[in-house]
Structure 1
Amino acid sequence: MNSRTTVMISIVLAMLVASMDATIMNTTMPIIAKELGRFDLYAWSFASYMIASTILSPVAGRLSDLFGRKKVFGFGILLFLIGSLLCGLSASMVQLVIFRAVQGIGAGFMMPFPAIIAGDLFSVEKRGRIQALFTAMWGLSAVLAPLLGSFFVEYMTWRWIFFVNLPICLVSFFTLLPYKENYQPKKAKVDYIGAILFAVGVTFLLLDTIVKDNKILFFIVGAVFLVVFYFFEKKQASPIVPLSMFKNKMISRININAFIGTTALFGTASFVPLFLQNIAGLSLFMSGVALLGTAIGWMAAAVPAGKWILKYGYRILLIIGNILLFFTGALLTQLNPSHGFWFVFLVMIVQGLAFGLLTTVGMIGVQQLVGGHERGISTSFFMFCRNMGTAIGVTIMGALLTNGTNFMQGIHHLFLYGFIGSIFALLTSFLIQKNTAEEKRMAA
């Protein structure tokens, strides 16, 4: 096998374990909390992973610009492996929360690289197919995670939800070794202070979505750190997040649109299964199968996206993606007890088409609109905007669900919120300008 093939195996396996670990605990965590105690730390076992992985993604992308993709990606795989081992050996809930953070740091260092390395290796036309392959891994993990979680809890021990990562991570690491990257890193001083300011600021903003008390204080502290970070970065020769990148209005508006769209409706996958189980009476497995509609639609849009970009450009495709997202939001506001598997499955296909277009076209756009030495941070910052939007959106939806007078009212309110958010996402998509020079260059 050539190095391109081996690195594809490596990044696909890394995506699989990182995506499974984001969801596999959904079905097993009640059993884990019962054995380890400290149920008050239940939510933190999810939060520590989410916060660490979200914060580290843009930092990892920037470090790969400075030191090369292979070194940073390999470090992430090994750290994720160590975190998985420690999680499996946890003797208390406190340990599990801490080790989940270690695992999340590893995931943060791994998750941007499928898109970054694909941007280095493949043309725009082929990149849509590669993104579809990555989407297939997310779809596979959505089904595998609850199945594996239930199997390990029933027939072995919950600790195997973490131990199963070890052989997969080892294969991912060793298949990465033969890779000879064609990207030449641009050596520069690492902006450690900027990275710390950014990490602290984002941590407090994410904690604000989780904690119940002192929410205003957490928001203010996070905002202050990010303001200090902004002014500090303006003075750096090699900032951890190059602010010059945002002078490109198209990149800024693509990122804003990605943030609003995911804040609005990307959290659907967290709440549709609850409706199917509690109202439609479907099993855990069948409610997971319904989410495969998202993967099907996503792949259908992502595979030809590269060719469509060359033919139609970014702007029109992003507008079409947001129209589909708006249509999804409208359908979900009509969800009622008479709806079952097939209605939800078809809506998920439409939503998959929407996010397949928005994510693939947006990802390729932010990669192509910067130089090679900023591709890592540009790609990972796009992912960061999507992750932040998802975290905030899921929190708002969860609050609307729990504050409803009954379950169906909560479901109605959270999807009404998603629909309103999709309107704002659609409006911002019209602000994305046509980049004639870049589109002519790609077509040449």
Structure 2
Amino acid sequence: MSQSLELGFLASTAAITMPSAVLTSIDDDIGPNAAYAWMTTSQVVAVAIFSPLAGRLSDIFGRRNFILFGGLLGMIGSIISATAHRVEVVIGGGIFLGTASAFQQLVWAGIGEIIPRKYRGMVTALIEACVFPAGAFGPIIANSIVATTTWRWIYWIIFIIATVSVALVFLFYRPRNQYIREEGKTTLEEVWDLDWIGFPLYAGGLLLFLLGITFGGNQLAWKSAGTICMIIIGAVLLVAFGLFEAYYDQIFPLFPPAIMRKVRGFAVVLVGTFLFGTLYYSTAVLWPVQIEALYTQNLIDVGWYASTLGIAGMIFGPIIGFVFTYFGHARILYTFAVGLATIAAGCMAIVTPDSRIASSVLVGIMGVSISWGMAIAGAMCQLAVSHEYLGLAANLAVTMRNIGGAVGTVIYMSIFSNRFKSNMMIDVAMPLLKSGVPPASITSVIAALTKKTPESILTTLKPEQFVIGVNGIKDAYVHALRVVYLVSIAFGVLATICAAFTMDVDHLLTNEIDIILDEGAMVTQGLTDTGEGHVIYREEQEAHHHRTPHKDSAQDKGVQVRHY
């Protein structure tokens, strides 16, 4: 059964790791389009928006149908992208793939709830290891496909994996009593009790904020009205969402106060995960740039270097899961992982054109730290909440990492671009002028060296001038990369502080199992409801409907009121 869920997660991982390694190749074929990076960015944004909703719905109505829905969306997104003849269409396919990923990542809760709670750290790490082909070798596989056939096969492979996953989930995954039911209400009536105000506030606010910081400095100027309006309106909507969730009583809030008020056990872990994701993306985003600019431009070699991050994490992740399961001390392990990643990211500032071995080792350490830290954080989030919030808790950990990554990407790329442009004058233009290159030709020579224009003008340079130009370009990259890696230390320090203030969960590592599965393969769903799931009785429903933010008359009458 677990293999069916893991295949869906493998498909969602491949959908981001493989295309992101060959974005320029896709753009060269069906572009050019200045927004080509959105072919994968659209996935990240969609995951961040829909992951909490996917987790919440799966807690209330059961995970099976939503996992199947995610698989079908993944199949549709793969077909759209594989058959696209414009970059805009691939971006549209990415939205489908990202939304699918939000539901496919229910694997964390789906597997976590059927094993004893004390093994969740190990299982979380093993789930990461199960996506080894895409997580570790995605870049090399993608570059090999582009080198030997067409990039479209990347999406067809994702389609095949998603299709097999849907079939296996349909046949074998039938969790028993996995729901929250309101006594006396139909499923449609329960739908009306969902958070119909909170989710639009959250989705609209997050979308506008991410679009604002992404477009700023790229498609739009940072000072433009469009950028400023998107960021401000997005931030206001997110603040309004937080206030609404905290003070408006409802049966099924999107972010239940019952778990958000677990400060050290849950909220601080999420903040740490956000900052950890921001730290991680300094390497995840710029390592491929560093490889091609300084070490090699051979597609296969680029793929192998880029795989360093994933290979190290996938190998050592299960080991860390084993250590956590049998020795505990999650807070110490989490703090050490974040601290180690911070040191590795800062040490990446040693970058030079000859640092390929040292930089690769540091990237490997970063991969180990990320796999280690995210596995522990995911387990801590799951252990901190009761079963009726498990899907939301697991998906929120993914959401915060993605949001942190999106914010980090914008910050790092903005710093890198600005530094690189200013370095071009010092490291390239001035040395070329001193070597005798005519001032009128400098701009054209630099454009040719960075492959933005045809390279014919380079034939007019003397051999020593060409070497000066090539080395100057590398120096400009080196100096820009160093600044970014040093800036990332700040996020790492904050993340380490958050990790140190989380609550230990050793006392929660019990033999308790939340649900069981019906055994065997069945075409129909079978008997998966024995009446033993979470039930909200009529008295509790009435208590919610009569509460006010200031006085809980229902509680005064002795009725226990819970947020689901």
What is the TM-score normalised by the length of structure 2?
Answer: 0.71
Deviations 1:273-320 (A, max 9, x none): 322232123644334334335433454244343553553422212222
CA contact (8 A) 1:313 1:439 kept: no
Q: Is 1:239 aligned to residue 309 of structure 2?
A: no
Aligned to 1:194: 198
Q: Is 1:159 aligned to residue 152 of structure 2?
A: yes
Aligned to 1:280: 295
Helix, strand or coil for the counterpart of 2:272?
A: helix
Q: Give the 5 Å matches for 1:141-290.
A: 141-142=134-135, 144-177=137-170, 178-182=172-176, 184-187=178-181, 188=190, 189-212=193-216, 213=220, 214-233=226-245, 234-235=247-248, 236-250=250-264, 251-281=266-296, 283-290=298-305
Q: Give the 5 Å matches for 1:22-421.
A: 22-37=16-31, 39-111=33-105, 113-142=106-135, 144-177=137-170, 178-182=172-176, 184-187=178-181, 188=190, 189-212=193-216, 213=220, 214-233=226-245, 234-235=247-248, 236-250=250-264, 251-281=266-296, 283-290=298-305, 291-297=307-313, 299-305=315-321, 307-308=323-324, 311-340=327-356, 342-404=357-419, 405=423, 406-421=476-491
Stretch moving more, 150-159 or 249-258: 150-159
Higher normalized helix content (fraction of residues): 1
Q: CA 1:192 to 1:326, structure 2 compared with 1: closer, same or farther past 3 Å?
A: same
Instruction: Supply the distance in 2 between the matched residues of 1:314 and 1:154 (Cα, whole angstroms).
Output: 44
Instruction: Supply the distance in 2 between the matched residues of 1:350 and 1:93 (Cα, whole angstroms).
Output: 35
Aligned to 1:4: none
Q: CA 1:239 to 1:149, structure 2 compared with 1: closer, same or farther past 3 Å?
A: same
Deviations 1:97-155 (A, max 9, x none): 223212221122212x2211121122344334433333334442145433443444454
Of structures 1 and 2, the larger Rg is shown by 2
Name the amino acid aligned to 1:185.
Answer: Y
Instruction: Supply the distance in 2 between the matched residues of 1:14 and 1:226 (Cα, whole angstroms).
Output: 31
How far apart are residue 413 of structure 1 and its match? 0.8
CA contact (8 A) 2:49 2:206 kept: yes
Instruction: Supply the distance in 2 between the matched residues of 1:308 and 1:385 (Cα, whole angstroms).
Output: 22
Helix, strand or coil for the counterpart of 1:279?
A: helix
How far apart are residue 164 of structure 1 and its match? 2.2
CA contact (8 A) 1:127 1:306 kept: no
CA contact (8 A) 1:49 1:103 kept: yes
- In structure 1, runs of 5+ residues without a counterpart are 1-6
CA contact (8 A) 1:309 1:361 kept: no
- In structure 2, runs of 5+ residues without a counterpart are 182-189, 221-225, 424-475, 513-564
Deviations 1:146-185 (A, max 9, x none): 3443444454433322222222111101111211214521
How far apart are residue 88 of structure 1 and its match? 2.0
Instruction: Supply the distance in 2 between the matched residues of 1:328 and 1:367 (Cα, whole angstroms).
Output: 28
Instruction: Supply the distance in 1 between the matched residues of 2:479 and 2:54 (Cα, whole angstroms).
Output: 41
Name the amino acid aligned to 1:353.
Answer: V
Aligned to 2:438: none
Instruction: Supply the distance in 2 between the matched residues of 1:286 and 1:217 (Cα, whole angstroms).
Output: 43
What is the alpha-carbon root mean square deviation over aligned residues? 2.5
How far apart are residue 367 of structure 1 and its match? 0.6
Stretch moving more, 151-160 or 342-351: 151-160
CA contact (8 A) 2:49 2:207 kept: yes
Instruction: Supply the distance in 2 between the matched residues of 1:345 and 1:327 (Cα, whole angstroms).
Output: 14
Instruction: Supply the distance in 1 between the matched residues of 2:38 and 2:361 (Cα, whole angstroms).
Output: 34
CA contact (8 A) 1:135 1:295 kept: no
Instruction: Supply the distance in 2 between the matched residues of 1:65 and 1:55 (Cα, whole angstroms).
Output: 17
How far apart are residue 54 of structure 1 and its match? 1.8
Instruction: Supply the distance in 2 between the matched residues of 1:369 and 1:153 (Cα, whole angstroms).
Output: 44
Aligned to 2:533: none
Identical aligned residues as a percent: 22
What is the TM-score normalised by the length of structure 1?
Answer: 0.89
Deviations 1:27-77 (A, max 9, x none): 443343344346133233233222112211111011100111111111000
